Structure formats: structure tokens, C-alpha cells
Homo-oligomer: A and B are copies of this chain.
């Protein structure tokens, strides 16, 4: 595990201006108070890297999981969290040819981005398109890459299909809604508490469902068109007049074509059972583990116990697909991820997607920011901003 740098003398400045800067640091597993603002020092960018002055950072479910010790893609604390940010290039390392000082970039990383200044490989940065704010840029990568890949790669969403989006007002949820709207005539079921339903309707959700007051699976079944019986292949009559297979055998509600499942546990099974033939459930998180500020062993046991499990023969008889998605395990997939980002930037510049910002919090209020998300008060993305000292900001903007 990388030890925290002790405050000390200025290290040799590779890229010049190596000064103390503020960073959010996860000091140990536990509640909101475990994330603290600390001073850090660093050198300039190494070869292949950029030094970026961070202007906005995205908060993700995985950050909440990480704080509780439930995210296995990070070294143990103390560690600087943060998987996405946006800012301005302040120094360019050797061997970087496609970026220059002053470029506005968004950054994706396994961790470490919740700082005023970060050094990152240029290959993990993407140029922000014209007209995009830093907040939007910090809200784009994790949520939209996830939503795009689960809907269009695994989900293979096509016109006239139907999708169930859980936590539809959350980061991935709002992204998924917008992406669904780029496909003709998609029916969207979206779960969220009732107070968010107006927003869901405005943004294109066909059927908002209040998962707190009703069984969402029952509700989806109620709304879905019923399976047409009428016989079909079952109705093949033998020439023998004694053979009278009847047809009303298989009347069932059709369900949906795609379920996006960020919940895990028993909700994955519910999702599977809600699928139409050729339907796909894409599980991409275990939000059910997060029941409060701290790790909840009961919730973990329950989620594990109720976990969806299937074998090949069962799957064979269902005409369904089960997919698992985790951007955190996509580290090496530059080409794949870069291709998706290019498509997203294209959709943004066409005005087809636009990150919905719920709220913006300075580093000092990171606890409130995390609470906003954990208590599911947010509609859209929760953003952190470093609030850099005014003088330096001014200097760089000139």
C-alpha cells in the first residue's frame, strides 16, 4: 500500500511548480468521517503523463463501497479515492504528443483523482468537447461508459424494446435513460422514490415505479403486455384426430427485454424472472450491500445468500442472458473504453446526452456529498470541487 507522504521539504520538481495541494484521503474504513482533506505534495508529470489541475470530481457508488471496505480494486487505506475528474492540463510529460498545457480534459482512473492536482497517464485522459462544463465532464465518464456498454454492448438494445432501470434518478440511471432515448420507441420502466417521478417523466421514463411503496416486479408485470397465446408452434395438430394439443398452455406476462441491475442479491433473480425470451439482465453493482454508513454484515450475508446463481442447463431452457459488468475491471481496455468515450462525446455534441448534475460540494463537505448519494437524495450526479486558491486559478485561466 502506498504510504501517505509525510509533510516535508519540497521534492525536486520534475515539471516545475511542485507545491503543496489539497487532497481527499480515505484514512480507514468506516463512516463519512473517514474521508479527510489533507495536504499532499507531488512532483511533475513523468514521461507519458499529464499534470492536471482538477476542477471537478465525480462521486460514485464504488467510492461509497470503498469507504466501507467493500471495494476490492483498491489498496488498503490510507489512499486517495476518486475514479473520475475533469480539469486543465498544467504540465505535459515527455513522450506525450497529443496534449498541451491548457487543454481541458476528463480523466478516468482506478483511484486517486480527488485532489487539486493529479498526474495521470495521458492515455487515461479525454479531451472535453466544446461547451462542456467541468461539472458535466466529471459526471460523464463512469456513468455514461457504464450505461453505454451495458445497454448497447451486452444489452444490444434495439427499437421497440423495453428496459427496466433501477435507481433511475441516479448517475447511471439518468445516463441510461438518455441513451435509451437515442433508440426508437423504447419503453422505459424506472424505479425511484415518488418525489423523483416528475423528473423521470420529463426525462423520458415511460413508467416510473416507486420501489419503496410497491413491488416493482409485480408492477412491471402488471404494465407489460401479456404473452399472446393463440397457439402457434404448440398448436401443431397431429394428423391423428385423437391428438388435440391445445394452445392456452403458455400464457404469461411478457416482461421486459433488458434489466439493468445495480442492486445484486435477490434483485438479480427478480430481474431474471422479469425477462422476456431473449431478454438480458446486466448486473453491474451490489448496491444492496449499502444499507448505512458502515459495513453491514447482515446485509452482506443476506445479499450473498440470496445471490443469483445459474448453471448452463437452466440457462439453456430459458432463452435468456446474464451479464456482469464492472468498469473497475476494464483497466487494460483502452481501445474498448476509448471507443465508447468517442461515441459519447459525439452524442454530447449532437445534444443527445447531457449529464444531469444533482449538486456540487467543496472537498470540505465531502461527508455531505456522500450522504446525499448514500441516502439516495440525489437526482443525477453528485460532484466534488477542490475550490482551488483563487490566485492560482486566475493565473492558469489567463
The residues of A with any CB-CB pair to B shorter than 8 Å are 2-5, 11, 21, 23, 40-43, 46, 48-49, 80, 108-112, 115, 117-121, 123-124, 149, 153-154, 156, 227-229, 231-243, 245, 250, 261, 264, 268, 277-278, 280, 282-286, 304, 307-326, 329-334, 336
Contacts and interface: CB of A to CB of B under 8 A. Distances in A.
Contacts of A304: 313
A9 to B, nearest CB: 12
B312 A320 contact: no
A330 B277 contact: yes
A326 to B, nearest CB: 5
Nearest to A268: B312
B234 A332 contact: yes
Nearest to A109: B236
Given A2-B238, A109-B233, A312 B331 contact: no
Given A110-B236, A232-B331, A277-B333, A245 B319 contact: no
Contacts of A310: 309-311, 322
Given A108-B233, A232-B124, A329-B317, A283 B307 contact: no
Contact of A330 (B154, B319, B324): B319
Contacts of A2: 238, 240, 242-243, 245
21 contacts: A2-B242, A23-B239, A42-B238, A42-B241, A49-B237, A112-B236, A123-B231, A154-B280, A156-B156, A277-B336, A280-B323, A284-B316, A286-B313, A309-B312, A310-B311, A312-B324, A317-B324, A317-B326, A320-B324, A321-B324, A322-B323
A288 to B, nearest CB: 11
B317 A236 contact: no
Q: Lowest 8 A-B CB distances belong to which pairs? A: A42-B239, A315-B324, A2-B243, A321-B323, A5-B240, A233-B331, A309-B311, A316-B324
Most buried by B among A239, A322, A326: A239
A247 B124 CA distance: 14
A119 B239 contact: yes
Contact of A319 (B40, B227, B324): B324
A314 B324 contact: yes
Number of copies: 2
A73 B48 CA distance: 60
Contact of A264 (B80, B120, B231, B312): B312
A285 B286 CA distance: 31
B319 A321 contact: no
Nearest to A243: B2
Contacts of A43: 239, 241
Contact of A334 (B5, B232, B308): B232
A92 B109 CA distance: 66
Given A110-B233, A332-B229, A239 B319 contact: no
Contacts of A42: 238-241
Contact of A312 (B108, B277, B308): B308
Contacts of A108: 233
Most buried by B among A117, A237, A280: A237
Contacts of A319: 324-326, 329-330
A110 B149 contact: no
A231 B121 contact: yes
Contact of A278 (B80, B149, B236, B312): B149
A336 B158 CA distance: 13
A307 B313 contact: yes
Most buried by B among A242, A282, A316, A320: A316
A313 to B, nearest CB: 6
B324 A283 contact: no
